[in-house]
């Protein structure tokens, strides 16, 4: 299973939208160099308020470009980086990957998937109705969160658009992604 990097983003401040970059550097155990969410412990403000010693399972946020395509058909012009992702991918079913999947990005970087991003109401500040548009329900009525996945950096390196992504699945049994 392979895909590619469509775009990369970072922001030094806690803003929803992250500007596009020519490349980003992933740092093992920390996240994206220069990004507000970089660190060994949680950086999301609501999580820091609850327990600042929690491990940071959200060092890197990835969204599939196919979500941007889907949103465009629903009237939402949401460019890559606008929903806060660090890496926009193409050609991978990110939401269908199990916990512990390793994504090999570019020459040396490896991100291990920890779970789903739980979309927040800030998305409606970009476009009214956007939060509802990134949520769905399956046949059993369970919520499907489509706003990307989160991961931790196992091996650092530079990542840029057009870099290949190789997927390494964990040993079975696979565990479905849950919000982290």
Residue predicted with more confidence, 16 or 170:
170
Question: Which pLDDT score is estimated for 47?
Answer: 85
The tens digit of pLDDT for each residue in 75-129 reads: 999 999 999 999 999 999 999 999 999 999 999 999 999 999 999 889 999 999 9
Each residue of 27-54: pLDDT tens digit? 999 999 999 999 999 998 888 889 999 9
Which domains, from first to last, does the chain contain? 2-168 (2.40.33.20)
pLDDT score recorded for residue 142: 93
pTM: 0.96
**The pLDDT of residue 124:** 96
**pLDDT value of position 143:** 94
Q: Is the pLDDT of residue 19 over 90?
A: yes
10-13 contacts, C-beta under 8 A, 24 or more apart: 10/34, 10/35, 10/86, 11/35, 11/36, 12/36
**Residue corresponding to tokens 């994206």:** 32
The C-alpha angle 53, 42, 87, rounded to 5 degrees, equals 160
Residue 45's pLDDT is what? 80
- In the prediction, which pLDDT does 36 show? 96
- Residue-wise pLDDT for 56-68, tens only, equals 999 999 999 999 9
């Amino acid at each position: 299973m392979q895909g590619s990097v469509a775009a990369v983003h970072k922001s030094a401040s806690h803003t929803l939208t992250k500007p596009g970059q020519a490349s980003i550097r992933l740092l093992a155990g920390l996240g994206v160099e220069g990004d507000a969410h970089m660190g060994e412990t949680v950086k999301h403000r609501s999580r820091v308020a609850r327990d600042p010693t929690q491990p940071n399972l959200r060092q890197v946020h990835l969204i599939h470009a196919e979500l941007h395509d889907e949103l465009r058909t629903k009237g939402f012009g949401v460019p890559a980086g606008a929903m806060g992702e660090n890496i926009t991918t193409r050609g991978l079913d990110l939401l269908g990957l199990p916990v512990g999947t390793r994504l090999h990005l570019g020459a040396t970087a490896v991100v291990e998937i920890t779970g789903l991003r739980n979309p927040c109401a800030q998305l409606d500040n970009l476009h009214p109705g956007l939060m509802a548009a990134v949520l769905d329900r399956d046949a059993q009525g369970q919520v499907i969160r489509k706003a990307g996945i989160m991961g931790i950096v196992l091996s650092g390196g530079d990542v840029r658009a057009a870099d290949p992504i190789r997927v390494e699945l964990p040993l079975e049994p696979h565990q479905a992604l849950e919000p982290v």
